[in-house]
Amino acid sequence: MNRIDSKFRELKKKGKKAFIAFITAGDPNLTATQQLVLNFEHAGVDIVELGVPFSDPLADGLTIQASSQRALQKGVTLEKIFSLVKKIRESSEIPIALMTYYNPVFYYGEERFLTQAEQSGVDGLIIPDLPPEEARNLIQSARKKNISLVFFISPTTTKQRMKHIIKASSGFIYYVSLTGVTGAREGIAPLILKQVSLVKKMTKKPVCVGFGISTPEQVKKISQIADGVIVGSAIVQQIVKNAGKKNLVNRVTQFVHHLSRGLK
């Protein structure tokens, strides 16, 4: 059992839901990322989704695309991200999942990537452009190294395919709340609540909802039917808003704490 599994077990015993915060590694810089993760642990964040900057994202909207570009311009690499997670592990046990695309994993080498991830203290991988059918070797290798591999279910996923995705997933199942890319939205489609309930009837694995969630009210609404809520673009927007300010970390942390209180 890794940190992600332990966290969901702990939350379930307490009757609580998970708040998962996404930030891009290296935006605005790696030092700030480290400070944000450590502060998040005390601001109601249960799991951190750490984005690996990539030049050709498919699932990310403009906000996260821009954050990736800024990080790449700063020279952020996989090696530096693994080193960052190692540093975080010196003082924190907060569960960390890397969100990356398959190209960096393929180029780095699957086994080498997983070995580095394990040694660094990474608990899970989220790879939006890798379907379960193409991930058999990675799934087997990740399980041996006790690293969760999270797959996606969307509003257009058929019930039959849901079964396949659920079986392949570990850690939690990522339910995409809309058809499209990431980005803050004004509301949550009513159909989402019904669909998430359907997925939960099919599995005992945690089901977490992301894409388009940006307010405490939305967090509260989603948490009523899901096991966890994922917020990314809204947090990245706060990083952009406070770029260059000495109190960036504190301001972003306050915003995240404000969002996480929606679970209370």
**pLDDT tens digit string along 91-101?**
999 999 999 99
Alpha carbon distance 206, 169 (integer Å): 10
Cβ–Cβ < 8 Å for 97, 37: no
Cβ–Cβ < 8 Å for 149, 173: no
Going by pLDDT thresholds of 50, 70 and 90, the confidence category of residue 264 is low
Give me the phi and psi of 206, to 5 degrees please.
-60, 140
What is the per-residue pLDDT for 180? 44
Going by pLDDT thresholds of 50, 70 and 90, the confidence category of residue 182 is very low
Neighbours of 74 (CB within 10 A): 14
Better-scored residue on pLDDT, 64 or 226? 226
Residue type, 32: A
CA angle 263, 240, 28 (to 5 degrees): 100
Question: How many distinct structural domains can be found in the chain?
Answer: 1
How distant is the alpha carbon of residue 13 from its chain centre? 22
Active-site position among 5, 27, 41, 49: 49
Structure tokens at 219: 């967090």
Mean pLDDT of the residues in the chain: 92
Q: What is the CATH number of the domain that holds 95?
A: 3.20.20.70
The percentage of residues in the chain with a pLDDT greater than 90, rounded to a whole number, is 81
**Burial status of residue 223 (CB atoms within 10 A of its CB: 0-12, 13-18, 19 or more):** buried
Q: Is 49 a catalytic residue?
A: yes
Terminal CA-CA length for the chain: 27
What is the per-residue pLDDT for 254? 97
Domain that holds residue 33: 3-263
Active-site position among 46, 60, 123, 227: 60
Q: Which residues of 88-111 are buried (b: 16+ CB within 10 A; e: fewer)?
A: beeebebbbbbbbbbebbeebeee
The SS3 assignment for 75 reads coil
Starting at the edge strand found earlier in the chain, the sheet holding 207-210 runs: 148-150, 124-126, 96-99, 47-51, 18-24, 228-231, 207-210, 173-176, 152-153
What is the per-residue pLDDT for 25? 97
Residue with tokens 């949550």: 188
Structure tokens at 50: 């750490």
What is the per-residue pLDDT for 188? 57
Give the mean model confidence (pLDDT) for residues 107-134.
Answer: 97
The percentage of residues in the chain with a pLDDT greater than 70, rounded to a whole number, is 93
Q: Which of 177, 112, 121 shows the shortest CA–CA distance to 146?
A: 121
**pLDDT tens digit string along 40-79?**
999 999 999 999 998 876 756 678 888 999 999 999 999 9
Going by pLDDT thresholds of 50, 70 and 90, the confidence category of residue 184 is very low
Q: Which of 171, 191, 147, 135 shows the shortest CA–CA distance to 20?
A: 171
Give the mean model confidence (pLDDT) for residues 205-231.
Answer: 92
Neighbours of 140 (CB within 10 A): 10
